[in-house]
Amino acid sequence: MEHTNSHNLFQRARGLMPGGVNSPVRAFRGVGGEPVFFRSGQGAWLTDVDGNRYVDYVGSWGPLILGHAHPAIVEAVTLATKSGTSFGAPHEAEVELAELICKTVPSVQMVRLVSSGTEATQAAVRLARGATSRDSIVKLEGCYHGAADSFLVKAGSGVETLGLPDSPGVPAALARLTLTAPFNDIPALERIFGERGKDIACVILEPVVGNMGVLIPKEGYLQVLQALCNKHGALLILDEVMTGFRVARGGAQELYGISPDLTTMGKVIGGGLPVGAYGGRRELMSKIAPEGPIYQAGTLSGNPLAVAAGLACLKELAKPGVYGKLEATSRKLCEGISTAAAEAGVPLTLNRVGSMWTCFFTSSPVFDYVSAREADAKKFGRFFHAMLEEGIYLPPSQFEAAFVSFGHGEAEVERTLKAARTAFAQLA
């Protein structure tokens, strides 16, 4: 494929933006080469600035569950724009979105809309600290909760891709308040709570990790974690920014049957526009200003364009049979990729929950930070570029989830499997 225009744009960008990008993983550091610059998207397809077309499995890193430029979202945003792009004041649509979220996610009785997932997780942790009068938090290795200081400790995603387990600029005193444990390791959690239980305000985790590649919780793990929090008076925060309305309509908490104290959301609830939210039990959320003393605010919170897109998206997802269709497409795709790897003799572990999936180039199970790190990231880079050359756009990092959308159909799956067979043949 020809990438002259992408190359020229990247050279211009490098002198204007750090690394030439506005978010680290986009720079292709995890796979080598230069990033592709895109011009448009439609359904499951992306078109780059050189006119090349790709079946897209990034989906703007998760929000585009309906696919690119879905008619319902385009229409909703277009209509909203005609009434004004921002008010900085209450409006009816944000109330409707809050009602829909609270109706769909049983653990959420009250919700606060914000502008990003990072903002949501920051606010949820502040609420947990304020509600418990404790300072320490527990996060799980490889889970990523945004680029806030408290979370940049063994954070996965772009941090892991760049080989930066911690980021300069994070005060050591603040980092000491973030305790870490391996994902899926119950004894480690029991030790931490045994030693520091009275200091722990909350545990925050991705119930299905998407920012170390897809890591799946072992049976009973989330339930034991919830019991430990209850026993020691800590709050359980499920970061469902990626999994919310993605792995099930009610998120991972519906899928695994747990009820967290607080939930953070983003991505899908904005339908492709910047939005986030956090919510939980009424007595906790009532502590947020102006109803309570714990301060959190945002000029663009409840932005009418983002809310319009989110409402349109969630209403589409409420239609009968949509998650069954998404599951069937995702299963066929991932089973086909696994079969193609086996036939080529390429060691591969493919983790999938619903429409989230990751190929790990290892024959061993991948279930935590350490086992994910043991996968062959260089081989993934070769696979990525082989697939790119065949017109398949995957996340440019071993440590990210790929996503299936409702835009993906039989033709896109078959094209992807054909490309995978070609790519695996080059790796064998």
Annotated catalytic residue: which of 54, 57, 144, 369?
A: 144
The helix (H) or strand (E) run that includes residue 57 is none
Q: Examine the residue annotation and report whether 144 is marked as an active-site residue of this protein.
A: yes
Annotated catalytic residue: which of 48, 56, 185, 239?
A: 239
Residue 89, judged by CB atoms within 10 A of its CB (0-12, 13-18, 19+), counts as exposed
C-alpha closest to that of 329 among 417, 197, 212: 417
**What token pair was written down for 267?**
């991505």
Annotated catalytic residue: which of 267, 278, 368, 393?
A: 267
Q: Examine the residue annotation and report whether 256 is marked as an active-site residue of this protein.
A: no
Q: In whole angstroms, how far apart are CA 159 and each of 20, 156, 167? A: 17, 6, 8
> For residue 353, what are the β-bridge partners?
356
Q: What CA–CA distance (Å, rounded) separates 44 from 56?
A: 6
The secondary structure of residue 202, as a DSSP letter, is E
Q: What CA–CA distance (Å, rounded) separates 65 from 293?
A: 37
**What token pair was written down for 341?**
């790897």
Chain centroid to Cα 110, Å, comes to 22
The three-state secondary structure class of 24 is: helix
Q: Examine the residue annotation and report whether 239 is marked as an active-site residue of this protein.
A: yes
**What token pair was written down for 120?**
């949501």
Q: Which residues are catalytic?
A: 144, 239, 267
